[in-house]
Structure 1
Amino acid sequence: MKVTALGSGSKGNCMLIEGESGSLLVDAGLAAREIQTRLALVGADPGSIEAILVTHEHTDHIRGLDVMARRFDLPIIATGGTLAEFFLHRKVSKKTVTTITCHPGTTLEIGDFSIEPFSISHDAQDPCGYCIEEKSSRLGYCTDTGVLSGEVIELFRRCDGLVLESNHCPQMLEDGPYPAMLKRRIRSRRGHLSNEQASACLQLLGHDIGAVMLAHLSETNNTPAIAEECARVALGLFVDDVALQVALQETISAPMEI
């Protein structure tokens, strides 16, 4: 399995997951035209995409969703609460797109992919992360959550690779320009993971994980260098055994092989 971040951050998120015989998108938070441009830059054929997995309904995760789904006849996979939010606010065209409801704790088969959603803690209707398995490779995908439960960390132990939120440096957030209410939201249990929270997770996983992509970094309250260094320190003796990289907003990532 190969994982490429087409863009990741507060302005828009879209991840390409490529297997041996098909591919998936996780979120479509860039404009559809931009998603197509970036797919072309990495040599990916939109016709090979089998579905779009959606984590939640915030704009930075669904900006290009409706257009991509209609243009390429792609089913949208999301939890019941997220889909209800789409239909209530007309964020997708209910009559012209195919939707599939996924349920945390159960497994959904799409082509050669096995998809297992899990609940996360964010200020959205029914947010989720995903474990995605294809052949013998298993990926954990988790962004936009204020906490990581023990159950989620145990799911990660069975993964070969991990896309994990490392949104902010607490000190940069505290000293930064955001209003107090927004700072409280970001720090809350329904907000975003800090570098320290992400690193604590990696420390628990140690050698259980072979590849990590830090994602959804704030351009205001974090830097790639700070996030990466925090993760490297947490991995400690295992740092040389883990392929670590940071996903960026404006730059397509190198592919993460798992």
Structure 2
Amino acid sequence: MSRLTEDFGMRVSVLASSSSGNATYIETPQHHVLMDAGLSGKKLNELLHSIGRDLKDVDSVFISHEHTDHCRGVGVLARRYPNLMVYANAPTIAALPKSVGKIPQEQLRVFDEGAQLDLGDLDVESFGVSHDAAQAQFYQFQHAGKRFAIVTDTGYVSDRVEGTIRDADAYVMETNHDLEMLREGPYPWPLKQRILGDFGHLSNEDGANAIMDVIGLKTKRVYLGHLSPHNNMKPLAHTTVVNLLKAQGLAVGHDFQVLDTDPAVADPLFTVGA
């Protein structure tokens, strides 16, 4: 796909979101980027083809942290596409698992936590989250005054993060687990404690509370992301979040939409702010 001169805005598709693999596609007239690459190169290209896009056109990948469900495919992509740049902070780059394989040094770009990057018609801002990784960070993407933010893999959403992403046009917000399903489920107790802790993951209720704290008049879409296949279900996450938001008087379905993501099916491309 060639770069376009007409400004169609910033378009996004959540390609996959779950505890087993995560990737989101963001495009502007000048850029085609991935936020995380937690699936195989083959699967990522299948998902991109399903929305009419191709891996060969992706110019950058922004990695949140070194857990394989966020970085599994980045080494393959970098070696296959020598013009593709890989952005992450230095501790994350150092902690990438051996299974990722070699990423050519000339394709690595250190992107510090709390930094901003100007890529012409795409501005990217990183922000740290609380997770059991070397230095997990997520990203907010901005084009022509429209903002899209992703927040998953965090035990809580800090005031600092809320201030960074408040009143974005669209979000992916973590709703990893249902508390009862997790507590009654098959995971060993130490793993349950990890998930429930400050360096773990947001529950459905936590995600709803975070949404309430950050949405504003500009917000049009909120995607529920990073669901655990063992400790959550899409209908349960969706109903829990929507009911909590409505209980606070928020006009779900009128002022903004709450939407689901899938571990293996890409969401349709949407224009941020439309």
Please, what TM-score do these two structures have when normalized by structure 2?
A: 0.88
Aligned residue in 2 for 1:217: 227
Question: How do 1:162-241 residues align onto structure 2 when only pairs under 5 Å count?
Answer: 162-208=171-217, 209-236=219-246, 237-239=250-252, 240-241=254-255
Structure 1 pair 91–31 and aligned structure 2 pair: CA distance change class (3 A): closer
Matched letter for residue 271 of structure 2: E
Kept in 1, the 8 Å contact 2:175–2:203? The answer is yes
What CA distance in whole angstroms lies between the structure 2 residues aligned with 1:107 and 1:200?
A: 27
Aligned residue in 1 for 2:7: none
Aligned residue in 2 for 1:26: 35
Matched letter for residue 209 of structure 2: A
Aligned residue in 1 for 2:269: 255
The runs of at least 4 aligned residues of structure 1 exceeding 6 Å deviation read none
- The answer to whether 1:83 aligns with 2:93 is yes
What CA distance in whole angstroms lies between the structure 1 residues aligned with 2:91 and 2:191?
A: 24
Matched letter for residue 167 of structure 1: N
* Unaligned runs of at least 5 residues, structure 2: 1-9
Q: What value does the CA root-mean-square deviation take over the aligned residues?
A: 1.7
Mean CA deviation greater in 220-229 or 200-209: 200-209
- CA deviations on 1:215-247 (whole Å, 9 max, x unpaired) are 100111111111111221233232121122111
Structure 1 position 257, deviation (Å) = 2.9
What CA distance in whole angstroms lies between the structure 2 residues aligned with 1:243 and 1:257?
A: 14
Match of 2:69 among 60, 65, 74: 60
Kept in 2, the 8 Å contact 1:146–1:191? The answer is yes
Matched letter for residue 238 of structure 1: A
SS in 1 for 2:45: helix
Aligned residue in 2 for 1:243: 257
Matched letter for residue 132 of structure 2: D
Matched letter for residue 191 of structure 2: L
Question: How do 1:53-202 residues align onto structure 2 when only pairs under 5 Å count?
Answer: 53-73=62-82, 74-86=84-96, 89=98, 91-95=100-104, 98-202=107-211
What CA distance in whole angstroms lies between the structure 1 residues aligned with 2:207 and 2:215?
A: 12
Structure 1 position 51, deviation (Å) = 0.4
Kept in 1, the 8 Å contact 2:176–2:202? The answer is yes
Aligned residue in 2 for 1:7: 16
Match of 2:26 among 17, 41, 61: 17
Kept in 2, the 8 Å contact 1:213–1:256? The answer is no
Q: Percent identity of the aligned residues?
A: 33
Structure 1 position 117, deviation (Å) = 0.4
Please, what TM-score do these two structures have when normalized by structure 1?
A: 0.94
Structure 1 position 4, deviation (Å) = 1.0
Between Structure 1 and Structure 2, how many residues are aligned? 257
Structure 1 pair 187–7 and aligned structure 2 pair: CA distance change class (3 A): same
Structure 1 pair 111–66 and aligned structure 2 pair: CA distance change class (3 A): farther
Kept in 1, the 8 Å contact 2:76–2:100? The answer is no
